[in-house]
Structure 1
Amino acid sequence: MKMKLELFLVVMAVVCAAGKPTSKAAAGRNKLLLISFDGFRWDYDQDVDTPNLDQMVKDGVKAKYITPPMLTMTSPSHFTTITGRWVEDHEVVHNMMFDDKTNLKLPHKLTLKKSAWWNKRVLPLWITAQNQGLKTASFHFPGGGANYSGQVVDRVLFEEFDHPDDNETEWRQNIDKVLSWFSEEDFHFVALYYGEPDNVGHAKGPDHPDRKKIIAQIDRTMGYLREAITRFNLNDSLNVILTSDHGMTTVKKRPQVDEVIINKYMDLLKLTSFEILDYGGFGILTPKTGKEQEVFDALSKVPNVTVYKKNEFPESFHLAKSERLPPIVVVADLGFNLNSRFIVYVNKGDHGYHNGEMDMKTIFRAFGPDFKKNFLSEPFDSIHIYPLMCKLLQIEPAPHNGSLSVTENMLLGPEGPAGTEKPGSGGSQGASLSVALLLCMLLFMSDVL
């Protein structure tokens, strides 16, 4: 009887152990690669043969489109993706670092290394993940190179000021480098940035054949990524999100239209102390003391633009609480560019317009062991990508404005497709439990018999 009791205790220990789900952290959680192709408009792949992007949709999930935040510019939008915060909260309110009191203006790529511009109020995903024991990296991604109150991203690569963005061989080398970080150095999260198709969209316009060529190059690169994931043995452990920061529209130019020149309607030198206007569809001004209403009234008469006082922004902009934005903001109608004193603008395509415009919408694709297959999502705001990434990395998110409820229907449940067990979800535990219970029954039946 004593032997039976000891056997019973052993079996019950097996039962208890089998009933406990295995910790994903202990078993090795899945990793995440976030890829952003700057300026990839939501419909850019619809007039180009893209077999690899099409296969990604079959193997994963696709949103019809996503809406970037106001402002539809590179740095503000990317920082919303990586923080889950509206622009008024993270305060990266322009691609340029500026100070309207000192007239400081730094171009975009120099701004990328200025911690004072990025480290204002919130922590990006890299730092939040590192604080919970994960290794993270930024490969040219906006915001990755800053120091956040003494904390830096584990590994950062900067894009040089004059770096060419369209070298396909280098694109592939970047993928190999990133995947080696995952497979050989156990990185958990990497954000990888590419500067196209934004550059060709600006230089040639979204309807130019060269834009179609760069989309085909992106498609080939995604095919290479899929092959490389297999080569690095990451198919079962790496989730991939492909997205962008904004769309692109064709710039309307003379002789078809009269381009916007603000100084025709007001004396900028006399009435303002600071402005950034020669920068696409979005402009900011600081009136001189006592000239606020005069500036607003003058701008209100400018055709093809809408002028806002900062404290009267529509709530949907999520900009009114910003401390950095100057008092006056001007948004051009789609396709019109803002010029200050004379026409200096040469771009044939641009962004920075109202995020409700379809030309400003962008893409979302994802695949990997945690995503459903062949799933089409309704459109959503890019701010909701952040809680999805936290869910995939199994970390506690920092305070954010997004909601997991918007995107969690993209993910597999406890069971995988067609009712099969998702790896690590407990199928073997259930089998062990059944065996242990059967052993208990046999032990007690032998006593009875």
Structure 2
Amino acid sequence: MKLELFVVLVAVTCATSKPLNKATTGKNKLLLVSFDGFRWDYDQDVETPHFDQLVVDGVKAKYITPPMLTMTSPSHFTTITGRWVEDHEVVHNMMFNTKTNLKVPHKKTLTRSEWWDNGALPLWITAQDQGLKTGSFFFPGGGANYSGQAVNQVVVEEAGHPDDNETEWRQNIDTVMSWFTEEDLDLVTLYYGEPDNVGHAKGPDHPRRIEIIEQIDRTIGYLREAISRHGLNDSLNVIITSDHGMTTVKKRPEVDEIILNKYLNLLQHASFEILDYGGFGILTPRPGQEQKVYDALSNAPNLTVYKKSEMPESFHLAKSERLPPIVVVADLGFNLNSRFIVYVNKGDHGYHNGEMDMKTIFRAFGPNFKRNFLTEPFDSIHIYPLMCKLLQIEPAPHNGSLAVTEDMLQYNGESEQTKVGQMCRSSSF
């Protein structure tokens, strides 16, 4: 009888063995912070005491891999939906329409719901549908409506807004902290446009990039002070990540830059194109011209041309209805130019997500995260189910897996859980 009772107790314990820590008042809150264009190694050649302390106090991934495409809007929307780009259909920073030739710059798309609302529910809406309150501060996608539903608290970044004002960065943190404490929000996403702008303008190897990383590090220090000041240390989990990395653009006289019109008369053979946008380009051939366009561009150096229907499965782009039939990906550091060279950026992204220069960061700390825990690299798509676990909500359909990130979580009675887990694994029932 004693053995039977023991078996029953262990079985029940195994079934319920991983409750997350909770603050005494209920579920813990979550802050997701994204620093645009923060390459995985940007803190390795800079004095970053606050980032260094995060390694001691929380979780660090060696790096994470963004989705194809390594662009701001597609990558951020993968993080907040847990869906591949072919599923959520935010397939470029620019909003476009291949039939009308509409092209809308990135920041002007931020409130255009028709670009974002394609059936894949972002975490804000899923959380709100389950009784939580959410907010978005400058985060891509946060300013749109989803089936008519808006995020509870929203601040949208306007075109032309400066991205590098450190005083404003701190004010934004203060606003977010007030959302948690005064408005009782459960989830907030906070976006910063650096170090992306500096990476584009100066290149990843420029001293100004080091200065902006130092500024980001000070901001992390201010964030942690603000969390303490608002009494959130025991109830707020924080994830810090990014959307893509950055690489140096190769230019003359070191290389011959790519001008695609040398290999194909674009005006004659294409009805729509976005080919002057970093390392990634899209093109709609005129009727009956697809093979000719593909063959001609295949002769261009330092790039790879794909028919959408034949792209590698690992890209998770082939099923997209919005993406045009021809996709062009430049070799790392080569810039795509359609007709002539007007490109001034010294750094860029949009290249293959397998390139190390496109990898980015992941840090996390708070009551539900282990301390001094280094995890192996993983794909950014797995952040979504982790966030759902932290918020204790049922996720919407997604392509990620909690199994990839669950080891970084701290559970109630961790040492006892380890013993119980061992018993569960060794039991035959």
TM-score when scaled to structure 1?
Answer: 0.87
CA offset digits 1:373-409 (Å, max 9, x no partner): 0000000000000000000000000000000000000
Q: Which amino acid aligns with 2:302?
A: N
For residues 44-443 of structure 1, what are the structure 2 equivalents within 5 Å?
A: 44-416=42-414
| Distance in 1 between residues matched to 2:412 and 2:133, nearest whole Å | 26
CA distance in 2, matches of 1:371, 1:415: 13
SS of match in other structure, 1:263: helix
Q: Deviations over 1:178-227 (max 9, x none)?
A: 01111111100000000000000000000000000000000000001111
Structure 1 residue 24 displacement after superposition: 5.6
Whichever residue aligns with residue 215 of structure 1, its letter is I
Whose Rg is larger?
Answer: 1
| Count of aligned pairs between the two proteins | 401
Change in Cα spacing, 1:26 to 1:215, as seen in structure 2 (3 Å) is closer
CA contact (8 A) 2:135 2:188 kept: yes
Alpha-carbon distance between aligned partners in 2 of 1:260 and 1:120, rounded to the nearest angstrom = 34
For 1:361 and 1:143, the matched residues in 2 are separated by 22
Tell me if the contact between 2:21 and 2:367 (Cα under 8 Å) persists in the aligned partners.
no
Query: Does the CA contact (< 8 Å) of 1:91 and 1:121 recur in 2?
Result: no
Matched to 1:183, the amino acid is T
Q: Which amino acid aligns with 2:267?
A: L
Q: Distance in 1 between matches of 2:307 and 2:393?
A: 39
Change (3 A) 1:282 1:91: same
* Counterpart residue type for residue 157 of structure 2: E
Instruction: Give me the whole-angstrom Cα distance separating, in 1, the residues matched to 2:49 and 2:149.
Output: 41
Looking at structure 2, the residues matched to 164 and 178 of structure 1 have their Cα atoms a distance apart, in angstroms, of: 19
Matches within 5 A, 1:33-48: 33-48=31-46
Q: 1:136 to 1:22 in 2, by over 3 A?
A: closer
The superposition leaves residues 258-284 of structure 1 with CA deviations (integer Å, 9 ceiling, x where unpaired) of: 001000111000000000011000000
From the superposition, tell whether residues 89 and 25 of structure 1 become closer, same or farther in structure 2 (CA, over 3 Å).
farther
Give the conservation status (yes or no) of the 8 Å contact 1:239–1:366.
yes
Contact 2:23–2:234 (Cα < 8 Å) also in 1 = no
Q: Give the Cα separation in 2 of the matches to 1:173 and 1:43.
A: 27
TM-score normalised according to structure 2 size = 0.92
What is the distance in 2 between the residues matched to 1:336 and 1:93?
Answer: 21
Q: In the superposition, relative to structure 1, how do residues 419 and 184 fare at CA in structure 2: closer, same or farther (>3 Å)?
A: farther
**SS in structure 2 of the partner of residue 36 of structure 1:** strand
Distance 1:226 1:415 in 2: 26
Shift of 1:27: 3.9
Shift of 1:145: 0.7
Q: In structure 2, the residue corresponding to 1:185 is in which secondary structure?
A: coil
1:413 positional shift: 2.2
Distance 1:320 1:26 in 2: 47
Checking the alignment, whether the CA contact within 8 Å between 2:108 and 2:158 is kept in structure 1 is no
Shift of 1:419: 6.2
CA contact (8 A) 2:67 2:78 kept: yes
The unaligned stretches of length 5 or more in structure 1 are 1-20, 421-449
